[in-house]
Amino acid sequence: MPSSISISPLVLMILLSPALLAAEEDEESPLNSEIELGAIYTSGNTNDENIQFRGAVNYALDSWDLGLTIDGFRSSKENELAAQRVYYVSEANYNINEESFVLTRLAHDDDRFSGYEGQSDISLNYGRNLLTDREDMGLTVNIGGGYRRSSTIDEDFDEAMFRLAADFNWDLSDSAAFLQEFSTEAGEETSIFRARSSIETQIVENLLLRFSVNLKHQTQVPAGRKKTDTETSMTFVMQF
């Protein structure tokens, strides 16, 4: 069985707490954060544990937008680890003007049950903000290129990649919104497609309920592994 490294939601909240406190002290703070958490526990005839967690911190400084996101899932059955995934993304976004920007992106995917020991990539992208005349909608598209390293038990390999991504958000009402994200990272050895669809509704001022469907498809995977993974979750989101 692969070795496991787990990041608990509690630890994640502790790590983010200084940033969250700073944001609370100043209503006009350029720092924005959110913590998303959902869990299912069963006991009795079966003992299962499923935890979905996500933390995001974004900081705006003049023409720069800086962001860090940690997105993870952990599942155990009868006290044995059944699945574990943690996806880290850091971004530095330089705004050329209201509609155009340059994005530098660094990501690492640690999915212990995908057949890969890990996959890391770095890319430089050019992006555009579309639908800027709409108050209830937003669309961001970016395109670029970069470099990816993939590690398996048997080998490591590097490859150049082409990246295309888009984010769409639609305010359905004063308290509900729809969000759609997708990205394609195409390389010579393997290509990865990701999509995330979510609907969220506001419960109180800083607390949301979010329903999400995540999909990841990889064209080449180690023997005995499936190419497509999906996650469906309902989580609470605290924003600061």
User: Is position 3 within any domain?
Assistant: no
Residue 79: what pLDDT? 79
Q: What is the DSSP string of the chain?
A: --------HHHHHHHHHHHHHHHHH-TT-SEEEEEEEEEEEE-SS--EEEEEEEEEEEEEETTEEEEEEEEEEEEEETTEEEEEEEEEEEEEEEESSSSEEEEEEEEEEEETTSSEEEEEEEEEEEEEEE-TT-SSEEEEEEEEEEEEEEEESS-EEEEEEEEEEEEEEEE-SSSEEEEEEEEEEEESS-EEEEEEEEEEEEEETTEEEEEEEEEEEES---TT--SEEEEEEEEEEEE-
Region of 58 (left: φ > 0; alpha: ψ -120 to 50; beta: rest) is beta
User: Is position 102 within any domain?
Assistant: yes
Structural domain including 162 reads: 9-239
User: Is position 4 within any domain?
Assistant: no
Residue 208: what pLDDT? 96
Q: Is the whole-model pTM more than 0.85? A: no
User: Is position 2 within any domain?
Assistant: no
Structure token pair of residue 65: 């937008």
Residue 192: what pLDDT? 96
Candidates 142, 203, 201; CA nearest to 168 is: 142
Tens place of pLDDT per residue across the chain (240 aa): 444 334 444 444 444 455 445 444 445 678 999 999 998 777 766 678 889 999 999 999 989 999 999 999 888 887 788 888 999 999 999 999 999 999 999 999 998 778 888 999 999 999 999 998 999 999 999 999 999 999 988 889 999 999 999 999 999 999 999 999 999 999 999 999 999 999 999 999 899 999 999 999 999 888 888 899 998 899 999 998
The number of domains in the chain is 1
User: Is position 55 within any domain?
Assistant: yes
User: Is position 65 within any domain?
Assistant: yes
Residue 28: what pLDDT? 66
How far apart CA 40 and CA 105 sit, in angstroms, is 32
User: Is position 1 within any domain?
Assistant: no
* Domain of residue 113, CATH code: 2.40.160.40
User: Is position 98 within any domain?
Assistant: yes
